[in-house]
Amino acid sequence: MNDIRITDLANPILSDLQKNAIANAEKAKINLSVDAVLEAARQATGLSDFGDNGFKVHLEEQLQATREDDWLNNLGRIGVFNTKVGQASSRLRVIDALNRHPEIHEIEIKKPIMIAGLPRSGTTHLLSMIAADTRFRSMPYWESKQPVPSPDEPVTHDTTDPRHVRCCEAYAGTDAMLPLMKNMHDMHPDHVQEDIELLDIDFMSYVLEWMAHVPRWRDYYLAHDQTPHYGFLKTMLKVLSYYSGNGFGDESGGDLTPKKWVTKTPQHLEQLIPLHNNFPDALFLITHRDPIEVFSSAATLVAYNSRIRNDVIHMKEIGEYWLDRVERLLRACVRDIDLLPSEQTMDVLFPEFMQDDMAMTRRVYEKAGIPLTAQAEQQIIDYMNANKRGKHGRLIYDIEADFDLSKEDLYKRFDFYYERYPQLDPRR
């Protein structure tokens, strides 16, 4: 395993590809307005019904926050614009599907397994292990980018599916532009993805915070009850089940009982009550890791991505913002976790999980009341053998050097969390 240290976070040494992309983007005129985004989506899909227009208020807040980001260069603005157009296009297709197939609303999402935890706390690994069991329904990244297929394109749910092809092309472009992204958070088209992508189709999630410096949006999102938007998430799982290809127990198409879902999103950590309100029979798996390690990875990822969207990398401000963001997530978790039914909630401590991930997975199955069959166990083992940790190389973080932060000060900041989960405290 190769150790990788990014030494140019604060003062990036750009490749020719990165320089050319930034220069070419400066020639473009970007209209970060609701009308421009929605018109581009209409043109892309040939559809016009977005459903309840309430989402436009949230979209305007996102775009206003982006317009206020004076760190952002034109390449960064283009990235936000294109992302919003993609989400609006997905919304058009979703509303069209619901109008044409009202039976989708009758699909039941029964006893899903829903994972919440800080980024880099083992959520992806846990999700992927369970999703390897083909008795579960999960969502690969390529499907999350366009949950409802275009009516004029073949739907194969394999590598020939046009949605998969487009996602592979985009992945190759991102890998060329930001080659170390896959070392931090690999967004490979076939990897199981967070359901945050589905919340974004309702324009209400924390994802924009990873794309731009948008404290305005953070405050707006946190000030609003997310219960109705998690209701939209439930509708999206029904839509995906309908268009799943293999998402139903009866492949003949006559049975609208979907396979049991397994999903995850770090944002759930601060939305446990809206999550439970909409999925009252779910099993909630909450992953926990030393927040200093999590912060190191998250802040480094944001700083690394900033090299192509910011002309100046504001290391101090990035560090402060994401320290605050990690703290908010954890304080919400500590506040709300005991409000979840104990018989439906399980803590997954990162050190224990990494020491024996298969043993932890067996505990999850036992908690869920699902037999871990020999076939399922072999599928999980096959996944682990094909996806060794650090297969792209291991990144080495140094928050004291990169962000001018003292670990001792940070330990004190997160004492409230270490008191709840002392096994994570590196001082013990």
Largest CA distance in the chain: 60
The whole-angstrom separation of Cα 250 and Cα 258 is 8
The mean per-residue pLDDT over the stretch 222-235 comes to: 98
Output the pLDDT for position 388.
78
Q: Which of 175, 170, 181 minimizes the C-alpha distance to 306?
A: 181
State how far Cα 298 lies from the chain centre. Answer: 13
Tokens read off for 323: 């320290």
State yes or no: pLDDT of 206 exceeds 90: yes
pLDDT: is 158 or 278 the higher one? 278
Q: What is the radius of gyration, based on Cα positions, of the chain? A: 21
List, for residues 163-177, the tens digit of each pLDDT value: 999 999 999 999 999
Secondary structure (DSSP) of 134-148: TTEE--BHHHHH-SS
pTM of the model: 0.94
> pLDDT confidence of 186, banded at 50, 70, 90?
confident
Asked if residue 315 lies in contact with residue 303, where contact means CB atoms within 8 angstroms, the answer is yes
Output the pLDDT for position 255.
45
List, for residues 367-416, the tens digit of each pLDDT value: 999 999 999 999 999 999 988 776 667 889 999 999 999 999 999 999 99
The mean per-residue pLDDT over the stretch 7-11 comes to: 96
SS3 at position 248: strand
Asked if residue 319 lies in contact with residue 263, where contact means CB atoms within 8 angstroms, the answer is no
Our CA angle for 29, 31, 32, nearest 5°, is 135
Range from 53-62, 86-95, 238-247 carrying the lowest mean pLDDT: 238-247
The whole-angstrom separation of Cα 59 and Cα 45 is 19
Strands 136-137 and 3-4: unpaired
Tokens read off for 156: 């194969």
Range from 179-188, 205-214, 307-316 carrying the lowest mean pLDDT: 179-188
| Domains, the chain, with CATH or none | 3-424 (3.40.50.300)
Output the pLDDT for position 249.
39
Tokens read off for 242: 């309908």
The whole-angstrom separation of Cα 20 and Cα 15 is 9
List, for residues 323-357, the tens digit of each pLDDT value: 999 999 999 999 999 999 999 999 999 999 999 99
| Average per-residue pLDDT for the chain | 93
Tokens read off for 401: 């050097």
Q: Where is mean pLDDT largest: 76-80, 140-144, 191-195, 242-246?
A: 76-80
Question: For tokens 């094909």, what's the residue?
Answer: 386
What contacts 408, CB < 8 A, 6 or more positions away? none
Our CA angle for 153, 159, 161, nearest 5°, is 10
Q: Where are the beta strands (DSSP E) in 24-164?
A: 113-117, 136-137
Output the pLDDT for position 205.
96
The whole-angstrom separation of Cα 233 and Cα 235 is 5
Question: For tokens 């989400």, what's the residue?
Answer: 87
CA atoms 257, 258, 262, 266: torsion sign: negative
